[in-house]
Structures are given as C-alpha cells and as structure tokens.
C-alpha cells in the first residue's frame, strides 16, 4: 500500500520546549488514521510538525516519498496537505474571511488552482456538506460554530489535497452534529479519496471510522495498531500510563 505520510523518529517542539520524543507514524493511501491522547500530549504539535509550524529537532517527515522535514506551511500545502487547525489555537483564528460569503470563502481558498476546476471542487465540497450549499450567500461572520467548522474543512478540500489533517473537528459541537461530522469525514475519504489523519477527543466515534490508531502520551507513541482493537478500557489504561 502506498504511503502518503511517513513520520520517522520525530523529535520536535517549540524553541527549547521539547514536546515529541521519537514519534513514528504512517498514513497509507486511503486510510483514516486516528490520533488520540490526553490534553497536552502533543497531538497538535505532531500536526504542526508536518506543516512546518513547530520546530523539528531531528527525525524525518516524508510526504509521498518527498522529504518535507521543516518545510514552511505554504510549501507543504503545495505538496498536497490541507490542515484544519484546532480552534481556538495558539496561531490565531483560521483563515476564514468574515465579510465574505461562504461561496466567496471557498473561491478564496481555491487560489492557485486552475479556474475551470473551481466549480467542480465547490460541488465536491457541497456534496460532503450539503448545508454549505444552503448557506452559500451567508457572510461567514454569521455562521454558527458547526457551520464555521464545515466551511474550514471545505476550504481545506478546495485544493484537492492528498492528505487532510483534522485537529479536533467536532470539539464543541452538539451531539447530533458530531455524528454528522463523522459521516462527512468518512465521505471525504470514500468519495474524494483523500487520506486523513484525525485528532479527536471523541475516541469511541473516531475509532469507529478509523482504520488504524495511534495513542500519544506525553510526547511518546504508546499504541499503534488497528482502531477496532482499541476498546475503552485499553484506552483508559494507556491514557493513565499503564
Ligand atoms: N505554539 C506553542 N509554543 C510553545 N508551546 C506550545 C505551543 N503549542 C503548544 N505548546 C505546548 O506543547 C505541549 C503540547 O501541546 P499540544 O497542543 O501539542 O497538545 P495536544 O495533545 O494537542 O493537547 P489538546 O488535547 O489540549 O489539544 C503543551 O505543553 C503546550 O503547552
Ligand atoms: Mg491539540
């Protein structure tokens, strides 16, 4: 199976603050890989390391055979990675323009792709999140939290990435909406063929749609393997460091 992302022996952090220790992780083509772990374990830092938003001290990040270790965010985007950051985060608000409509934001996110491709890609996004079609003329500043999150993911999809990094996409959403989001995430893989690395607090639901899972505890991988084999008891033990 082709590897989309390979992280090898990664040591990373922020300046002198060391967060990740010897992390190995792979996302194969067509996989949904779930990354779980307690607060502060370094999950967001792992995603930040892939896109050049954290400091990589050693180890390698390889994207579809290309070494992208330490490359800046705009280059990594060009190589086919979309990153929907955890919100709120330490780097400011996501790149949504409040004064633009949903449709205009999607168009804005298509910068750099051939113009004739744009309508089809917007249709792909509406196919995943039909609600965005209904909201197409609404200014983004009026969107609810869940609608905003749909738009943020939709904007990530506009560039037809090979790999989508999702950091807690369902945080703060109502339970009914959470289920819809998990269906949408699976659709992104199934219908658009995009491989996904998914960070989630909602472990049970994430493991249901995940192919494989990793558990990160204080910067070290404590489990890697089948998502289905991780039951809640095992997960609780791992989180507590047993
Ligand atoms: N930009 C930053 N600069 C300095 N330290 C940071 C930065 N971002 C995170 N940290 C620190 O790095 C450690 C790991 O944080 P990280 O955000 O990766 O954890 P996480 O697993 O994503 O947690 P959560 O589940 O709460 O989102 C924490 O101690 C955090 O305070
Ligand atoms: Mg985080």
Distance 235 CA to ligand 2 centre (A): 18
Residue pair 204/210 in contact by the 8 Å Cβ criterion: no
CB-defined site of ligand 1, < 6 Å: 14, 17, 19, 37, 39-45, 86, 90
Pick the ligand that lies closest to the CA of residue 15: 1
Pick the ligand that lies closest to the CA of residue 201: 1
Atom index in ligand 1 nearest the CA of residue 46 equals 18
Residue nearest ligand 1's atom 17 by CA: 44
**63 - beta bridge partners?**
5, 66
How many whole angstroms separate alpha carbon 79 and alpha carbon 148?
Answer: 25
Distances (CA, A) of 140 to 82, 87, 103, 119, 123: 20, 16, 9, 19, 18
Residue nearest ligand 1's atom 24 by CA: 39
pLDDT of residue 87: 78
pLDDT of residue 230: 92
Provide block-wise average pLDDT over 10 residues at a time, the chain (242 residues): 94 98 98 97 98 97 96 94 84 78 96 92 98 98 94 95 96 91 98 97 94 97 94 87 73
Q: List for the chain the helix, strand, coil content (%; round to 5).
A: 35, 30, 35
Distance 119 CA to ligand 2 centre (A): 33
pLDDT of residue 231: 85
How many whole angstroms separate alpha carbon 209 and alpha carbon 186?
Answer: 7
- CATH number, residue 176: 3.40.50.300
Q: What range defines the domain where residue 185 resides?
A: 3-239
Nearest one of 202, 102, 197, 191 to 152, comparing CA atoms: 102
Tens of pLDDT along 48-83?
999 999 999 999 999 999 999 999 999 999 999 999
Q: Where are the alpha helices (DSSP H) in the chain?
A: 43-50, 73-78, 102-108, 118-128, 130-134, 145-157, 175-192, 203-209, 232-239
Residue nearest ligand 1's atom 16 by CA: 42
Number of compact structural domains in the chain? 1
């Amino acid at each position: 199976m082709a590897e989309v992302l390979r992280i090898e022996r990664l040591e990373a952090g922020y300046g002198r603050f060391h967060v990740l220790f010897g992390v190995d992780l792979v996302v194969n083509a067509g996989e949904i890989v779930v990354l779980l772990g307690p607060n502060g374990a370094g999950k967001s830092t792992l995603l930040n390391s892939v896109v050049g938003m954290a400091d990589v001290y050693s180890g390698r990040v390889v994207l579809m055979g290309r070494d992208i270790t330490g490359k800046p965010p705009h280059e990594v985007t060009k190589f086919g990675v979309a990153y929907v950051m955890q919100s709120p985060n330490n780097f400011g608000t996501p790149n949504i323009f409040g004064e633009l409509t949903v449709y205009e934001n999607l168009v804005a996110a298509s910068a750099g792709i051939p113009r004739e491709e744009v309508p089809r890609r917007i249709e792909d996004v509406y196919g995943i999140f039909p609600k965005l079609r209904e909201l197409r003329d609404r200014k983004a500043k009026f969107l609810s939290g869940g609608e905003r999150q749909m738009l943020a993911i939709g904007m990530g999809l506009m560039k037809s990435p090979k790999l989508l990094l999702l950091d807690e996409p369902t945080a703060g959403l109502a339970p009914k909406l959470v289920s819809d989001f998990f269906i949408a995430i699976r659709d992104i893989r199934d219908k658009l063929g995009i491989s996904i690395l998914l960070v989630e607090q909602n472990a049970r639901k994430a493991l249901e749609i995940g192919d494989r899972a990793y558990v990160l505890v204080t910067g070290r991988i404590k489990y890697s393997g089948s998502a289905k084999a991780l039951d809640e008891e095992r997960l609780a033990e791992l989180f507590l460091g047993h």
